Amino acid sequence: MNPRLKKLIATIALVILVALYAIVSTAIAVARLGDSGPLVHLAYYLIGGVLWVVPAMLLIRWAERKPR
């Protein structure tokens, strides 16, 4: 596959990933964290703020891989 096309696909997928991740994580927070204390909120947002990096890293690694 053309490297430029792979980067375009990865860029579009990354934007979609981040948008969907933000919507889902916010919906979970609203549904589950209403009665929780501030430390639970802090832990949730710290973990949730870093968790999206794993699929993004895999996507970027795929886009940067050299063609065979």
pTM of the model: 0.81
What letter would DSSP give residue 2? -
Residue 58 tokens, joined: 């895999």
For the chain, 68 residues long, give each residue's pLDDT as a single digit of tens.
888 999 999 999 999 999 999 999 999 999 999 889 999 999 999 999 999 999 999 999 999 998 77
Q: What is the pLDDT of residue 13?
A: 97
Q: Is 2 left (phi over 0), alpha (psi -120 to 50) or beta?
A: beta
- Whole-angstrom CA distances from 58 to 29, 32, 61 are 25, 29, 5
Q: Which domain holds residue 12?
A: 3-64
Q: Spell out the residues 6+ positions from residue 60 whose beta carbon is closer than 8 angstroms to its own.
A: 10, 14
Q: What is the pLDDT of residue 67?
A: 76
Give the total number of structural domains in the chain. 1
